[in-house]
Amino acid sequence: MSQRGTLILSPGDYFMSSLDTDLNAVLSINAASPVRLLVVGGLGIGQGVQVALTAGNSGNVLIASRQHGKVPVKSGAVIFGTLFAPSAEVAFDVGSRIKGAILADAITLDARVKFYSHAATGF
């Protein structure tokens, strides 16, 4: 996804060879029903990227990757949903946030990274 680009997703399954988001891109997701992004190759969440919900809740969003190595979540990125990368290290940069869940081989955190459960309020 290009810098400041927007990808709009409705409920359903999406199969991608890779997903690499650039600075301040937006994944706009209608999560009134399940939305599953299944990424076979590389996954990277760029600086300031927003995974934004237009409907529904974070429990209806799954971002899954078969990637090995590192899945970067750059500074200021915001994710709603479950991030599933069982063979990768998910690395959160300064000030990134997630509301949902993470399953990974390893998780690394820089300063001021915030995690909220799917049920949490005040995100």
- 112 occurs within a structural domain: yes
| Alpha helix segments (H runs only) across the chain | none
What is the predicted pLDDT for the residue at 1? Answer: 55
Domain count, the chain: 1
In a domain, 23, yes or no: yes
Instruction: With respect to residue 123, please indicate whether it lies within any of the assigned structural domains.
Output: no
99 within some domain: yes
pTM of the predicted protein model: 0.92
- Residue 2: pLDDT band by 50, 70, 90 thresholds? low
- Among the ranges given (3-7, 18-22, 25-29), the one the predictor scored with the smallest mean pLDDT: 3-7
Q: Is pLDDT above 90 for 41?
A: no
Identify whether 122 is part of a domain: no
Instruction: Name the token pair of 90.
Output: 């998910």
Which residue carries 């060879």 as its tokens? 17
Q: State mean pLDDT over 63-74.
A: 94
Average pLDDT, the chain: 93
Residue 17, pLDDT score: 95
Domain contains 1: no
62 located within any domain: yes
Distance, first Cα to last Cα, the chain:
25
The confidence score (pLDDT) of residue 56 equals 96
| Short-list 76, 78, 102, 77, CA closest to 90 | 102
**Structural domain for 60, as ranges:** 6-116
Residue 121, pLDDT score? 85
Identify whether 73 is part of a domain: yes
CA-closest candidate to residue 55, choices 74, 30, 79, 86 = 30
